[in-house]
Amino acid sequence: MVQVWDGVVAAPLIGTLDNRRTEQFMECLLQRIVETNSPVALVDITGVPTFDTQTAQHLVETITAVRMLGAQVVLTGVRPALAQTLVHLGIDLSNIVTRASLSAGVRVAMEILDLLRADRGGDRADGGAYGWTHCRGGHAGQRCHHGDAAGFDLGWGPDGVGRGSRPADDEWCAPRGRQW
C-alpha cells in the first residue's frame, strides 16, 4: 500500500480474495488511510484474476468501512470482461466510483482533492474530516482576516476565545503544513 500523492493512498489487490486476505487488506487499508490522513483511496483490482459475488461482497464491505473514516474509494482496474461479468452476476456497484485503469483513477482522485480544496474556501467551519492546519479562508498568500471565524485550527476558538493566541494582524495565511 503506497501513498501516491499527498492525500491519496493506492492499494493494489493481487491474487484471490478469501475471507482472511480481505480482513488483512481491510485492516491495512484503514490503518494507512488514518496514518496518512488521506481522503481518497485507490483500490486497484487489476491483479485479481477472478471476481465473483463473494469477492464483490468483501470489497463492498471494505469500501463501506473506508467511508466510515470519511474517505472515498475509487475502484480501478475494472477490465471490460470483468465489467460484463459483474453485470451478468447482478452485482450493483453503481454507488461506487470505478475506473478501467489506475491512471484514470488517479485523475478522479485529483478531482476529489481539488473539490476538497475548493471547499476550503467555503463556509465549512467544522474543520472537515482532516484537520486543516491553517486558515481555510482560501486566500493563501494574502493577509488573513479570518481569525475569528475560520482560524481556529491555529489554536484559538471559533469565536476568538479560548485555546491560544490569535495571530497578529500582519500574519499571513499561507498554505503551510497543509495536511489532509
Which residues are near another protein by CB under 8 A? 16, 18-19, 49-54, 56-57, 80-82, 84-85, 88-91
Cβ closest to another protein, residue 21 vs residue 166 = 21
Cβ closest to another protein, residue 10 vs residue 78 = 78
| Closest distance of CB 83 from another protein, Å | 10
Angle 53-68/80-89 helices, nearest 10 degrees? 100
What one-letter code names the amino acid at 91? I
Of 75, 131, 163, nearest in space to 147 by CA: 163
Cβ closest to another protein, residue 86 vs residue 116 = 86
| Closest distance of CB 108 from another protein, Å | 24
Q: How many CA atoms lie within 13 A of 130 on its CB side?
A: 26
Confirm if 133 and 37 have CB atoms less than 8 A apart.
no
Residue 160 neighbours by CB distance under 10 Å: 12
Cβ closest to another protein, residue 56 vs residue 140 = 56
Of 45, 131, 130, nearest in space to 96 by CA: 45
| Closest distance of CB 53 from another protein, Å | 5
| Closest distance of CB 50 from another protein, Å | 5
